[in-house]
Chains A and B, each alone.
Chain A
Amino acid sequence: MNKKEVLRYLAAPSDTKVLDEAIARADTELGAVQTPRAVWRRFPIRVENNSVTLAENVIESRDLARALTGCTEVCLLALTLGPGVDRLIRKAEIAEPPLVPVLQAVAAEKVEEYADRLQETIAREIAGEGLKPRPRFSPGYGDFPLEYQKRLFPLLEIEKKIGVTLTDACLMVPLKSVTALIGLAPEEADRAPNRAGKEPE
């Protein structure tokens, strides 16, 4: 695990013995309760100036369109660390509040790393076709409204396949879950990838 990232999430510029032990414990405890699951699938897309069309859904988002410029397909990815992580954090809120920010930070890093690993798997899958993946782009980034979660969920049957549900406000439960579009562009057509912003957690 990338401990530097965890410390960054904790806004702790340097390491201490106390933090070190807490991070190790959080890592072990999360490891024991997490049930990572993922589902992904490729879709052809049409990218215009301010919109992207994906399986008959028109997504109005200039930032997304920009991030997918030059792509002919996307891989729609959904993943979760599972409900055990939510339960563990809730339990710690009662039994051991000091561990909560640490669990939170380690879980956030685990989600990122899991997503990175899946992205590598996807990259290998498509390498033979002369395609290259772009950085992940999620609903909520830039001007890509969260409301589109409602359209993305049925495309992968996300609830049924990995047990992630949406609240009325389009937030995902379990909380440690990600949906993302990964642009797939022909290798030669690809320029320097756009930097995607991160969700604030």
Chain B
Amino acid sequence: MNEIESLLGSRVLFFDGAMGTMLTERGLEPGASPETRNLERPDEILAIHRAYLAAGADLIKTNTFGANRFKFGAQAQKLVSAGVELARAAVRAEGHGLVALDIGPSGKLIAPLGDLDFEDAVAAFAECVRAGSSAGADLVLIETMADLYEAKAAVVAAKENCELPIFVSVTADQDGKLLTGGDLSAMAAVLSGLNASALGLNCGFGPEPMIELTRELRKWTDLPIFINPNAGLPTKKDHDRFRYDVDPRRFADLARFLIDAGAWIVGGCCGTTPEHIRALHETLCDLALKPIPAQKRTVVSSGTKSVSFSERPVIIGERLNPTGKPRLKRALKESDLSYLLNLGLEQQAAGADLLDVNAGLPELDEKRVIGELVCELQAITPLPLSIDTGDPQVLEATLRRYNGKALINSVSAKRASMETIFPIARKYGGVVVGLTITDEGIPETAQGRLDAARTIVETARRYGISENDLLIDPLTMAISADERAAQITLDALKLIRETLGVNCVLGVSNVSFGLPERERVTAAFFTMALERGLSAAIVNPNSRAVMSSYRAFCALKGFDPHCLSYIASAAPEENNQAPVSEPGAVSLREAVEKGLKDQAFTITKDALLRGEEPLQLIDCEIVSALNAVGERFEAKTLYLPQLLMSAEAAKAAFEAIKRSLADTSDAIKKPLPIVLATVRGDVHDIGKNIVKSLLENYGFPVFDLGRDVPPEKVLDCVQKTGATLVGLSALMTTTLPAMKETIELLHQKAPGCRIMVGGAVLTQDYADSLGADHYGKDAMSAVRYAQSLIKSGV
């Protein structure tokens, strides 16, 4: 056992205090890097470490907080090695202490919100970890994290490059929120899932607000907790010298409450000095540690939100699964992300707590598609996801990049399944759905399924996965095939809950397969299962019957304070008594012009049912309405939001046509594929996205490469898709050179391709000087240009 692991829990342990504060007192200028002093003034660093050890610190943080490749390039590793060696030297000189390799945030934000690729973040942290561990660190301390995704990248790097214990602390505001929006329950879920050795909080607003936060964190993790607060808040005494307002005595008095709240290790961050640590040591060294209460919660999370399966039953939206859904299959094949993402958002709005994501189609590159879908979903929804795949490689790749602690769907009680899935779950964290299927098949009795569940629970434990991180699925079978099927499932559910205490999940809708009025049977079965202790269900949250049963159950069981959710969900039903559109009240043309999305869809659907020709509807109603709206936009009698509303209504009408046409969708697509990209270096893509939705709604097939796109990628897409028109956007003057480079590359390698450009800093003259074929002053102008190309036969 590592020395720190044997010390943990034996007595109160002490981290050191601030390094930066001590260096500022020794003349470090604001904005200057403390880390370079490892090489420039090593004696100073050594002296500070020694002062902290002499004051009673057990663990000292190396002076390597920002020593990463983003700030120091190739010098980073040298700074890390030097930092660890200095701390080691201090430990030798003082005769006690352990060295924590200090790793702070990269300073960059990981994609999709930022521009740093997850694997690049892992690689950068890995450099620090390798340098620090070979220089003799005793543990890795990942600290001051504000983004759980980045914390995950750092932990993955540490796990893959050393054997040292990993401590992780985040910085949170008084409400326990991280700067990127996550909370402590999500933090605990993600980092416990990744097998950190201890979790903590640092920096922030001083020891006092940390007391409550320590209590909160204690609720969510069974790992040891360490707390390194600032010495209060900086108050300005003079122009460029900050002083912190909590003195050593008071710091130590407040820290007493941190131990009381469950912390095992305390120390300091900004503004703390060896005097603070000495006071801590004197005041706290004889205090008894609070034992860690056993955790009984099953929790998954995204980067910002956790969901616990141990309270109110959880709804897992099943719609993002192509099985039996031709429209979804097509969207997956065509990479129609906006359709797919909307399916996610609809389920969120309908009350889903989690979204199941499955992209398993034989003709699809599942790894790429599910990876992209998960990444994009996580950019727009806080809901945790369930990664639903039968391919362990796809699972591993997806879990690695997933932001949070996912639901893993699924493992079975078959030996081979458990042997492949559990190690992946152990490495990246996750709650695993365990199907009660054995090597012999599906047990036909409740007892048989209990036995299978027990096999899963016991095998998981051998891989270091507790039953908290399992959801057992006793399997729903169709009663139309066997009338005892539901009863066996329900008995198995009850037996498993009572015998093993583990949480359970069911995909409920299967029960009614082959029956008329399926939803009634499904809803009744769902209620019966909930009453037997079901923790979660994979259902269609858009099904009114299913969700009504669920909400009624929650209200009856006291899961719904003041029945508020029930009341809120029941209200729209009353309002919806009146039909959305009165037939005949508006024409399709009017609906599109006025931007009435729902009506446009319904009217189109009805028209098609009456036998009207799709092409007729498109040309005479939809396109002519769009043109009228476009003209009014150009005449400035109507504005961008209204133009987009009409475009959305047109999209809804097209959607109705698409559904009716099944496979002849080419009929409504214009023969001009368009590639869109925001150029390299630019992350402002809102304008480009508006152009995209408008072009799509006018029926153009659009390949959107997103933002920060390198020139080669644009060319590659043009060559692959045969696109004859490319739209490039740039918002900042600094990214115009990248636009020029992209245009030159396209002119050279894809000479037949036209290029239109747009963005806030561009003008006609500038566009001409870049060699663009068209300058789009607004979104409509892009549409007009594309239309003109079709007319002229490009």
Write the residues of chain A forming the contact surface with B, with a CB cutoff of 8 angstroms. Answer: 10-13, 16, 18-19, 22, 35, 37, 41-44, 55-57, 73, 82-84, 86-87, 89-91, 93-102, 104, 140, 145-146, 151, 153-155, 159-160, 162-163, 165-171, 173-175, 200-201
Contact = CB atoms under 8 A, between A and B. Distances in A.
Nearest to B734: A146
Interface in B620-642: 636, 639-642
Contacts of A57: 31
Given A146-B732, A169-B708, 17 more contacts: A18-B595, A35-B177, A41-B30, A42-B240, A43-B240, A55-B29, A73-B239, A87-B380, A97-B648, A151-B31, A155-B31, A160-B104, A160-B105, A166-B107, A167-B108, A167-B708, A200-B731
B684 interface: yes
Contact of B648 (A98, A104, A140): A98
Interface string B169-195: 001000001011100000000000000
Nearest to B144: A160
B341 interface: yes
Contacts of A94: 338, 341-342, 345, 380
5 contacts: A93-B693, A94-B341, A100-B690, A163-B146, A200-B731
B736 to A, nearest CB: 11
Given A91-B345, A100-B690, A166-B107, A173 B114 contact: yes
A99 B641 contact: yes
A19 to B, nearest CB: 6
B40 to A, nearest CB: 15
A82 B179 CA distance: 8
Contacts of B382: 87
A90 B734 CA distance: 23
A10 B30 contact: no
B770 interface: no
A114 B258 CA distance: 36
Contact of B379 (A18, A87, A200): A87
Contacts of B113: 83, 86-87, 173-174
- Category for how many chain B residues contact A: 35 or more
B31 A171 contact: no
A158 B432 CA distance: 39
Nearest to A200: B760
A87 B181 CA distance: 11
A35 B689 contact: no
Nearest to A140: B732
B640 A83 contact: no
Contacts of A171: 681-684, 732
Contacts of B682: 169, 171
Contact of A168 (B30, B180, B681): B681
A95 B338 CA distance: 8
Nearest to B735: A169
Given A94-B342, A200-B761, A154 B380 contact: no
- Interface of A, secondary structure class, is mixed
Contacts, number: 168
A152 B735 CA distance: 20
B681 A201 contact: no
A175 B683 contact: yes
Contacts of A162: 179
Contacts of B391: none
A110 B690 CA distance: 21
Contacts of B539: none
B645 interface: yes
A138 to B, nearest CB: 12
A55 B641 contact: no
A139 to B, nearest CB: 10
B115 interface: yes
Given A100-B686, A101-B690, A19 B735 contact: no
Nearest to B349: A95
6 closest A-B pairs (Cβ-Cβ)? Answer: A163-B179, A169-B681, A200-B760, A98-B644, A155-B31, A12-B639
Given A94-B342, A97-B647, A22 B380 contact: no
Interface string B312-353: 000000000000000000000000001001100100000000
Contacts of B686: 89, 93, 100-101, 104
A135 B458 CA distance: 67
